[in-house]
Amino acid sequence: MNAHGQETGQAAGQAMAPGRGSSAAQANGHAVGHRGGPGAGRGAGSSDPARVVDALYRVNNFLAQVNDLHALLEAIMNESKAVVEAEASSCLLYDEATNELYFEVALGEKGDQVKEIRLPMGTGIAGQCAQERRTLVIHDVSQDPRHFKQADEKSQFQTRNLLATPMVRSDKLIGVLEVLNKTGQRDFTDDDVQIIEFFAGQAAIAIENALLIQSNLRAERLAAVGQAVAGISHYAKNILMGIKGSASLIDMALPKNDMNMIRQAWPVLQRNNNKISSLVQDMLTYSKEREPDLAPGNLNTVIEEAVELYRESATKVNVVLVCEADPAMPDSAFDVSHITDAITNLIGNSIDASADKPGATVRVSTVYQPDKKMMQAIVADNGSGIPPEIQKKIFEPFFSTKGGKGTGLGLAITRKIVREHGGSIELHSVVGEGTTFTITLPARPPEDANL
């Protein structure tokens, strides 16, 4: 069954496996059916060793794409077309729930229309190939009543001949791999059958691995969503309880005109309102991909202003803030607002970790590396330190050691901001001695700013 024109028509799906092959026996001069052993063994017995070597080389071209299913499928289709010198190729997957074959990915101008096609099992050449688990070679599709013309009509591609082989993995039907129109007005040969069956068998392994990776990623994402919902719900619930309590006090005070109670409740209401706003902003910052808004600035100015911002709150918990700016630090281009957010988040965490500890100090410094054209912002404390098992999770979203006091997004956002700048963030911590975070950023010239 053909899918589309000169560009390759493709569909992604479950793992491919070799079709079952034997020597070709023509039927009415245009259809060939094959049954028998594994396709991999068939390829090894091809009468043209050079083509087998070429097939092996092309297999390696797509095996490297196993982490990206979409790229893998495109590579498989392009390479399968090339290995038997065909004009186009297609890959239909089997949907066990509906007992149909379908295209997951389709290339070409009419690709979207081709993807709408779903072929019931047993319908068309591909459907029969899948149902009977045997390779079919059709030398003239115009003379074969099984030919599914709708695909040609949608893709505006005229199929002349085709080779279709079933894709099976561990005796489970995965789909059908087809190559369409042998170049030079030629017919597909026994060698083509053997090579494409071998090729499909190798592709099966790659697709199965890619699908397994995709399935695991999907499971991890669902787990992350569950963790995120749990973390947000707990944090938001505490905030809403504060808002509800403050609102209740204000409701009680209004009929009595008790301004003293209102003055006590109103700041609590404001603080919790600010927390909700910060939570929403943090979620937007973390979830939205963005390019840094580069502006002229100096990293020394950022740390100096950040230290002054936190000096009062640090003093309240007996923490000394020290600022050590590198005098050689040049002006550069970076997202001043977001880098400030990243550094202030680290300072706030260090103050929390050092609070009320004798001799507690948080040291904020910068270092310029002219030879590497890099600049660093370093936040170090002599607080409680971070255990190794926590260090492994510290940058994960919604992971927090502060209980209901934090969303667990702070360090995740900090790392995201740094990476968006093309930089890195490193953590060094020893339990009982303290923690150091080092942000390393490229020192772009001020002229690179988005003016």
CATH code for the domain in which residue 143 is found: 3.30.450.40
Q: Please indicate, yes or no, whether residues 206 and 315 belong to a single structural domain of this protein.
A: no
Nearest one of 345, 351, 350 to 317, comparing CA atoms: 351
In a domain, 8, yes or no: no
Burial class (CB in 10 A: 0-12, 13-18, 19+), 53: exposed
| Domain co-membership, 174 together with 268 | no
User: Which domain range does residue 235 map to?
Assistant: 225-287
pLDDT tens-digit series, residues 324-358: 999 999 999 999 988 998 999 999 999 988 998 99
**Least confident among 26-35, 98-107, 179-188:** 26-35
pLDDT of residue 285: 66
| CA distance from start to end of the chain | 55
Is the Cα torsion angle 9, 12, 17, 19 positive or negative in sign?
negative
pLDDT at position 402, please? 63
- On whether both 252 and 382 belong to a single domain, the answer is no
Residue 121 covered by a domain: yes
Backbone φ, ψ for residue 427 (5° rounding): -120, 130
DSSP characters over 406-450 = --S-HHHHHHHHHHHTT-EEEEEEETTTEEEEEEEEE---GGGS-
Residue 31 domain-assigned (yes or no): yes
d(CA 287, CA 62): 32
Same-domain pairing of 423 and 356: yes
| 407 domain-assigned | yes
d(C-alpha 55, C-alpha 50), whole Å: 9
Same domain, 53 and 167: yes
Res. 111: pLDDT tops 60: no
Dihedral pair phi/psi, residue 25, rounded to 5°: -135, 115
| 328 in a structural domain | yes
- 89 and 204 together in one domain: yes
pTM: 0.46
Pairing of strands 100-102, 118-120: antiparallel
> Are 123 and 250 in the same domain?
no
Nearest to residue 15, comparing CAs of 89, 90, 94, 98? Answer: 94
User: Which of 188, 216, 244 represents a domain boundary (last residue)?
Assistant: 216
- Residue 19 belongs to a domain: no
Is the domain of 240 the same as that of 154? Answer: no
Tell me which of 178, 194, 216 is where a domain ends.
Answer: 216
Looking at the structure, tell me whether residues 239 and 336 fall in a common domain.
no
Identify which of 361, 323, 369, 364 has the alpha carbon closest to the alpha carbon of residue 345: 364
Query: Residue 255 domain-assigned?
Result: yes
Between CA 176 and CA 54 the distance in angstroms is 22
Q: How many domains, the chain?
A: 3
The yes-or-no verdict on residue 27 having pLDDT over 60 is no
308 & 267 share domain: no
DSSP string covering 348-366 = HHHHHHHTT-TT-EEEEEE
Q: Of 162, 182, 216, at which residue does a domain stop? A: 216
Residue 16 lies in a domain: no
- Residues 321 and 439 placed together within one structural domain of the fold: yes
What are 168-214's pLDDT values in tens digits?
888 888 888 889 999 999 999 998 998 888 877 777 777 777 777 77
The residues, ordered by sequence, that sit 6+ positions from 237 with a Cβ below 8 Å of its Cβ are none
If one counts every other C-beta atom within 10 angstroms of the C-beta of residue 270, the result is: 12
Using CA atoms, how far residue 405 sits from 2, 217, 230, 445, in Å, is 60, 30, 14, 39
Tell me: do 176 and 78 sit in the same domain.
Answer: yes
Give the CATH number of the domain where residue 400 resides.
Answer: 3.30.565.10
Radius of gyration over every alpha carbon of the chain, rounded to an integer in angstroms? 32
CA gap 152, 162 in Å, rounded: 13
Give me the pLDDT at residue 344, please.
92
The per-residue pLDDT for range 258-272, each reduced to its tens digit, is 898 888 888 888 877
